[in-house]
């Protein structure tokens, strides 16, 4: 499937993910879960960051996201380690899996197959198998939803998220054409510019997802930061007019009130120096729905940017070259 077809299918992917999550067989925890580590990179890992943001007020144990070969020293039998690798062959994530197994952590894997599935089956580790055959970044819906279901199956998350997922599907289905129209308008403003993405700290994962999609789909560099932290450093860097920079604020009407005041001030400052300042407001009645809405809209922005630039949104040749180089000296 082409990238636009994959983005278009996001609501259907969420429906399929719910089916997989409902049918998943996850064993009960042998020991109390005192902390959670989610290991994954790129399109397979961003779900962990967004999950930690969205569930900040709902989960009583800390959620840490790891995007490297090593795992933290605190990991032990009271740690739930969720291994997320779409291909099942991500060497950094495979390394984390092996270390977590040696530390006797409680492990659940999310994968479409590969070495991680083999390792899980060989060592009697629980895993959830999702559908393969797509770029990892376009399988976000499947991998993210499994994170929610794993926590639910283990008694760490109540079932309210299920209604939120249904709400997100209904909203995206009803607003699809409006979302695409808005995304095209935003892409036209960002074309030829360096996007700078700002959001409330609670939605940093969504900002990172947008940045990653611009990197991979649109073949562009950009950066992101969050409020309030950027008010203590990056804000001072806005001193010179730069027609190559366009700022995007990802906003929610339910953002923390003081952060909304900070964003308004920040918008006044950067408007003096950036070529464009764009505000994208979410839709929905819960943080989970708002995240899904913003992700879908900004995915479309990244695709339309690729189209305007005349580049293939699916192509990631440089990443494939890196993997081939690394394969010369197997991990």
Residue 21 CA to residue 14 CA, distance in Å, equals 10
Cα–Cα–Cα angle for 97, 103, 106, nearest 5°? 65
Same domain assignment for residues 186 and 258: yes
pLDDT at res. 1: 80
pLDDT at res. 76: 98
pLDDT at res. 329: 85
Kindly state whether residue 329 falls inside one of the protein's structural domains. no
Domain count of the fold of the chain: 2
Kindly state whether residue 331 falls inside one of the protein's structural domains. no
Matching residue, tokens 């999950």: 51
**Which H, E and C letters describe 79-147, residue by residue?**
EEEEEEECCCCCHHHHHHHHHHHHCCCEEEEEECCHHHHHHHHHCCCEEEECCCCCCHHHHHHHHHHHH
Kindly state whether residue 77 falls inside one of the protein's structural domains. yes
Q: How far apart are the first and last CA of the chain?
A: 31
Same domain assignment for residues 122 and 150: yes
Residue 116 CA to residue 113 CA, distance in Å, equals 7
Q: Phi and psi at residue 133, in whole multiples of 5°?
A: 95, 10
Residues in the chain, overall count:
331
Kindly state whether residue 131 falls inside one of the protein's structural domains. yes
pLDDT at res. 20: 97
Identify the CATH number of the domain in which residue 39 sits. Answer: 3.40.50.10490
Same domain assignment for residues 19 and 139: yes
Domain that holds residue 267: 175-309
Same domain assignment for residues 141 and 180: no
Q: What is the largest CA-CA distance in the chain?
A: 59
Kindly state whether residue 170 falls inside one of the protein's structural domains. no
Tokens of 57: 């007020």
Kindly state whether residue 321 falls inside one of the protein's structural domains. no
* Residues pairing with 110 in the sheet: 84, 128
Same domain assignment for residues 8 and 152: yes
Residue 49 CA to residue 36 CA, distance in Å, equals 12
Pair 73, 37: CB distance under 8 Å: no
Pair 263, 227: CB distance under 8 Å: yes
Kindly state whether residue 169 falls inside one of the protein's structural domains. no
Same domain assignment for residues 154 and 180: no
For residue 279, how many other CB atoms are within 10 A of its CB? 12
Residue 35 CA to residue 60 CA, distance in Å, equals 9
For residue 45, how many other CB atoms are within 10 A of its CB? 24
Kindly state whether residue 30 falls inside one of the protein's structural domains. yes
Catalytic positions are 216, 232, 323
Tokens of 26: 């996850």
Same domain assignment for residues 191 and 86: no
For residue 114, how many other CB atoms are within 10 A of its CB? 16
Prior bond of 228 cis (ω within 30°): yes
Same domain assignment for residues 118 and 15: yes
Same domain assignment for residues 10 and 56: yes
Same domain assignment for residues 180 and 149: no
* Residues pairing with 82 in the sheet: 38, 108
Q: Give the residue ranges of DSSP H helices in the chain.
A: 3-8, 10-23, 42-54, 91-102, 114-122, 140-153, 160-190, 204-216, 257-270, 287-309, 317-327
Same domain assignment for residues 218 and 145: no
User: At CB < 8 A and 24+ separation, what contacts does 255-259 make?
Assistant: 255/200, 255/202, 255/203, 256/200, 256/202, 258/228, 259/200, 259/201, 259/227, 259/228
Asked which of 130, 158, 186 is the last residue of a domain, the reply is 158
Prior bond of 77 cis (ω within 30°): no
Same domain assignment for residues 113 and 222: no
> For the sheet containing 35-39, what is the strand order?
63-66, 35-39, 79-85, 106-111, 126-129
pLDDT at res. 304: 98
Please give the chain's pLDDT, 331 residues, in tens: 899 999 999 999 999 999 999 999 999 888 999 999 999 999 999 999 999 999 999 999 999 999 999 999 999 999 999 999 999 999 999 999 999 999 999 999 999 999 999 999 999 999 999 999 899 999 999 999 999 999 999 999 999 999 999 999 999 999 999 999 999 999 999 999 999 999 999 999 999 999 999 999 999 999 999 999 999 999 999 999 999 999 999 999 999 999 999 999 999 999 999 999 999 999 999 999 999 999 999 999 999 999 999 999 999 999 999 988 888 887 7
């Amino acid at each position: 499937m082409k990238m636009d077809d994959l983005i278009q299918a996001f609501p259907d992917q969420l429906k399929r993910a719910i089916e997989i999550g409902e049918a998943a067989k996850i064993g009960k925890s042998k020991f109390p879960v005192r902390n959670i580590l989610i290991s994954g990179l790129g399109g397979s890992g961003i779900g962990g960051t967004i999950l930690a943001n969205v569930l900040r007020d709902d989960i009583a144990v800390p959620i840490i996201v790891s995007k490297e070969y090593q795992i933290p020293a605190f990991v032990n039998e009271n740690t739930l380690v969720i291994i997320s690798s779409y291909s099942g062959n991500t060497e950094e994530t495979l390394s984390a899996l092996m270390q977590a197994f040696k530390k006797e952590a409680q492990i659940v894997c999310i994968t479409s197959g590969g070495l991680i599935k083999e390792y899980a089956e060989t060592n009697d580790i629980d895993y959830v198998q999702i559908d393969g055959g797509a770029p990892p970044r376009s399988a976000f819906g499947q991998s993210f939803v499994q994170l929610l279901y794993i926590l639910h199956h283990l008694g760490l998350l109540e079932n309210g998220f299920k209604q939120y997922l249904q709400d997100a599907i209904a909203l995206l289905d009803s607003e699809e054409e409006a979302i695409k129209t808005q995304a095209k308008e935003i892409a036209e403003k960002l074309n030829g510019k360096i996007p700078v993405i700002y959001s409330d700290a609670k939605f940093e994962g969504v900002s990172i997802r947008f940045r990653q999609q611009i990197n991979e789909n649109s073949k562009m560099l950009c950066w992101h930061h969050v409020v309030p932290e950027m008010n203590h450093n990056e804000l001072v860097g806005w001193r010179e007019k730069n027609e190559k920079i366009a700022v995007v604020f990802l906003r929610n009407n339910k953002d923390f009130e003081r952060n909304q005041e900070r964003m308004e001030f920040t918008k006044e400052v950067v408007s003096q120096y950036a070529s464009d300042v764009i505000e994208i407001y979410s839709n929905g009645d819960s943080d989970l729905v708002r995240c899904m809405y913003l992700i879908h809209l900004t995915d479309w922005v990244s695709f339309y940017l690729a189209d305007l630039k005349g580049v293939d949104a699916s192509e990631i040749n440089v990443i494939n070259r890196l993997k081939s180089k690394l394969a010369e000296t197997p991990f």
